[in-house]
Amino acid sequence: MIIETLSTFPAMYDSVMGTSMMRIAQEQGALDFRAFDLRDWTHDRHRTTDDSPYGGGQGLVMKCEPIFEAFDEIVAAREMKPYTVFLTPTGEAFTQAVAQELSEKPRLLFVCGHYEGIDERAYTLADRCLSLGDYVLTSGELASMVVIDAVVRLLPGVLGDEGSAIDESFYDGLLEYPQYTRPAEFRGMEVPPILCSGDHAKVATWRRQQSLKRTAHLRSDLLAQANLSEADRAFLKSLSTEAGSSSETVS
pLDDT tens digits, one per residue of 207-218: 999 999 999 999
Average pLDDT over residues 149-157: 96
| Architecture in CATH of 185-247 | Orthogonal Bundle (1.10)
Pairing of strands 83-93, 50-51: unpaired
What pLDDT does 99 receive? 97
Residue 29 marked ligand-binding: no
Residue 57, annotated as binding a ligand: no
**Three-state DSSP class for residue 37:** strand
Q: In the chain, what are the domain boundaries?
A: 2-153, 185-247
Q: Taking the CB of residue 154, how many other CB atoms lie within 10 A of it?
A: 19
Would the annotation count 13 as a binding residue?
Answer: no
Q: Is 16 one of the annotated binding-site residues?
A: no
Task: State yes or no: 117 annotated in a binding site.
Answer: no
Going by C-alpha positions, the residue among 226, 195, 198, 196 that lies closest to residue 213 is 226
The answer to whether the annotation marks 134 as part of a ligand binding site is yes
Q: Is 124 helix (H, G, I), strand (E, B) or coil?
A: helix
Q: Please, what CATH class does the domain formed by 2-153 belong to?
A: alpha beta
Question: The pTM is what?
Answer: 0.85
Return the pLDDT at 163.
47
Q: What is the pLDDT of residue 138?
A: 85
Answer yes or no: is 203 a known binding residue: no
pLDDT digits (tens, 9 = 90+) for 125-135: 999 999 999 98
Q: What is the mean pLDDT of residues 118-140?
A: 94
